[in-house]
Each structure stands twice: as structure tokens, then as C-alpha cells.
A and B are shown apart, each in its own frame.
Chain A
Amino acid sequence: MKTIILNGSPKGNVEKCGSYLLAQAFAKKMSTPCEIRSIIKENRLDLIESIQHADNIILIAPNYIHSVPAQTLDFLLALPPATGNQTLGFIIQSGYPESSESEIICRYLNRLGERLGYTVSGSIAKGECAGLAIVPERFKKLLDEFSAFGALFEQTRQFDRQLVEKFAKPVRLSKPLMWLLNALTPLSDVLGWNRIMKSNQAYEKRLDTPYLGPAQVKTMNG
């Protein structure tokens, strides 16, 4: 069984790409070598030819505006129908804590796959991946789970339902969790975004409104 993983990130197959790290982890314990290909960095026709010779196709992509990046969407909308008994699965990772931010695109991709005649192996919406490419050492547990997930997939050609549900938690933020996250926001801003902006000499401009017209400026100033 030949499996091909499509990395749908604009960053391509580089170590600073969270989707690529997840793809590597997914393939790590598979007995048959699994190709990881870049949708955006590679020639589209070559990639489609490879897809047509694969048994299993898995897309791993970041969440851009509650969907996949535009170039990856362009590729998916041009995906040819299945050739024979091919499976197609989707993994959408995001920095949001909750997975519901990717729920709609997973519903859409499942239908697209079915419509093209693929057996849809499942879809995963995985949140809490912010920093995966920056500090991957903090994500060892997740990467190990993805390796086990990939090995299981190779045997069944389906995404394990229990793991899909586990990866999706939390689907939505509970009231206590929202309260906690909002309470911690000033601290997380200082330790996160503000620190990065200061290192880039951009902190003083963090609230800039470069395209604001005179009428709106007047509104802001009362």
C-alpha cells in the first residue's frame, strides 16, 4: 500500500513548518515508506501523477481563515477523481485552542472527497498547534501520538475514531476555560506577541492603523 502525504502549507517541506513536522511524525512508524510532498512548492502535474498512483492520500494543512491556504484550496478544487480504490483523508492543524475553528472546512473536504469518488478515511481538526514549528520539543507527546496514529492508519486505511475525537478536544471552549484564557491574556500577550514584536523593533507600532482614512481617524479621536 502506497501512502502519499500532501503538505498544504505555503512554507513547504522545511523544519520550520508545523504541517511538515506532523507529516513526518505520521509517517515515522509506517512500515512502507511514505512520501511527503509539498502542494505549493512542487509542480502540480507531477504531483497529480503521483497521487494517481497512490493508494492512500492524506492532506495535512494549516488553518488559514478557517480553511486551508488559498493555493492548497486551488489544488484541491482541481483534484482529479479517484482512480480505483483510493482513500483520502484530511488533517487541519491550527493555533487556536479549540478545534471548531476548522470544523466547517473538514465538513466541506469530506464531501469533496466523496464527490470525487475517494473513500474518505476521515478528517481531523487539531487545535493548539501554535508554536509547533517554533518550539517542537514542547510537542513531543503530540508528535508521538501522531506516529502511533499513522501506524494504525497504515493497517486500517481509516482514521481511528477515538484518536480523531481525542485530537479534536477541546472542540469548543467552555465558560471556565474562556474566563481563564481571557484572564491570562495580558500575561500571554507580554510573553508571546509583545516579546516577538520587541525583538523585531515593532512593539511601538503594534496597534498601527496604516490604512485608516481621515473620517475614521476623527471618529477615533472623538
Chain B
Amino acid sequence: MKTVFIRESTDRSLPDASLFDLSEAQFHPCIGCWSCWWKTPGVCIHKDLEDFYRDYVNAGKVVFWAKPQQGFISSQMKSLFDRMIPLFLPYTTFRNGGTYHRPRYPRYPDIEFYYDYDFQDDEDYQIFHAYVYKVFEQFHARRIKIAPVSDFEKEGVV
């Protein structure tokens, strides 16, 4: 299965194939209408991320190259997360003390989330890691790696 790259900063060249360039992508924010759950299941009213959805759910791995702002993910990255709701069912299940939306697809990609940022202190670092992990745990990723870009450079492009 292929690897998809999601790049937020342009100062890094990544393979053109299966690259989603978040720094240039223009798409509507989620408006919370829930049409993708109760009117057109699995399909957003906005038709500007269909290639991304197709790439994401059919990938074996998705590699993010994120550019955080003020110790948190950028609003553009957050907008992409918000728009991923159609990939999951509205139905929920309860485990580990929390609520999880059930998967719509048979499997979801492993996640490698690299960030280009120096945190001011350990609490900022902990909050950022906890948040990204929480998101992809909710998104049913089986393997989640969150690391600074230096780790990516060490390992190289897969």
C-alpha cells in the first residue's frame, strides 16, 4: 500500500506522487452541518477534498510534515482534521474511559506526524503530543509516531 505525504511547509521537497500540499491547498472549513453523517453518509457537502479522502483511506501510511503555531497545530491543519469527519461513522462505542466514533472504512493508515517546531517547555511539548495522539487514536490509526522533523531526516523518505 502506498504512502501519502501531507506537507505544511514548503521548505522541504517531498515526493510529488501522493503529496498533499497543505500550504497551497484551498478548501472550505467544516461548518458543523453533519450532512456527511445524516444526509449523504460519508460525503461532505464541500467537494474540494475528494482526492485527499481517497488517498487517505487507501494509504498504508500517511506522513505529515507539520508547521505548528504557538505550540499547537496550525488552523490549516486543524481545518483538515475537522473535514475528516466523513471518514468515520456517527455511531459510537465506549472504551478506555472514552467515546470513539466507529470506523466507516475497513482500515486506516499508520501515521507518522513530524513537526518543525521548538517547544518553549515540557508542558507545551506534552500538550502537543497528547493532542495529536488523541486525534489519530480517534481516527483509528493502528500505529502513531509523533516526532520532530530531525527524526524524519535521520530515517529518510520511505
Contacts and interface: CB of A to CB of B under 8 A. Distances in A.
Interface of B: 1, 29-32, 37-43, 50, 53-54, 56-58, 69-72, 74-76, 78-79, 81-82, 84-85, 87, 89-95, 97-99, 104-107, 123-124, 127, 130-131, 134-135, 138
Given A10-B30, A220-B106, A210 B42 contact: yes
A205 interface: yes
Interface stretch (A146-154, A159-167, A189-197): A189-197
Nearest to A65: B81
B70 A66 contact: no
Task: Give the size range of A's interface with the partner.
Answer: 35 or more
7 contacts: A65-B82, A70-B79, A98-B98, A100-B98, A178-B94, A193-B91, A202-B39
A81 B120 CA distance: 18
Interface stretch (A25-33, A48-56, A84-92, A101-109): A101-109
A10 B43 CA distance: 19
Contacts of B85: 65
Interface string A47-77: 0000000000000001011110111011001
Given A65-B138, A206-B41, A209-B105, A71 B75 contact: yes
Given A64-B32, A98-B97, 18 more contacts: A64-B30, A69-B82, A70-B76, A77-B69, A77-B70, A77-B72, A96-B98, A97-B99, A111-B127, A172-B97, A173-B97, A178-B95, A185-B92, A193-B38, A202-B38, A210-B43, A211-B50, A212-B106
